[in-house]
Amino acid sequence: MQRVNAVIVQRKSVVPFAAFTILSGVAVVLARYNGLWFLYNLTADEEVLLSDIALIATILLAISTISRTLFVDVIISWGGRPKSFLLRFVPANQGRRLARLFQRLSAVS
């Protein structure tokens, strides 16, 4: 345990995915209810097609946002190498618990 230099719990940035999720949600509403009729009047088929495409984009972006919120990366460095061991997609609570465990073990030894 004396070789472990650092344990880093790293959360990925959620802001870009959350912003695109909100924007694509707004696009769903605008396409479905023809909110921009004064710029371009959509036919019923175009409304359905565009709202379906925007809904699929919203779902895909929401999945990315949720996964970035719930999971973290745990980086353990030892022996002078900054990224000796990298664990990806660790649930956030378990990642923090793992970091506390390494901290306690390194304090004892």
Query: pTM of the entire structure?
Result: 0.70
Domain of residue 36: give its range.
Answer: 4-108
Q: What is the pLDDT at residue 26?
A: 93
Q: What is the pLDDT at residue 109?
A: 63
Q: What is the pLDDT at residue 2?
A: 60
Which segments of 46-105 are extended strands (E)? 71-78, 81-91
Write the pLDDT tens digit of every residue in 44-74: 999 999 999 999 999 999 998 998 889 999 8
Closest CA to 17 of 63, 52, 53: 63
Q: Which residues of the chain have pLDDT under 70?
A: 1-2, 109
Q: What is the pLDDT at residue 107?
A: 74
Q: Are 78 and 27 in contact (CB under 8 A)?
A: no
The number of domains in the chain is 1
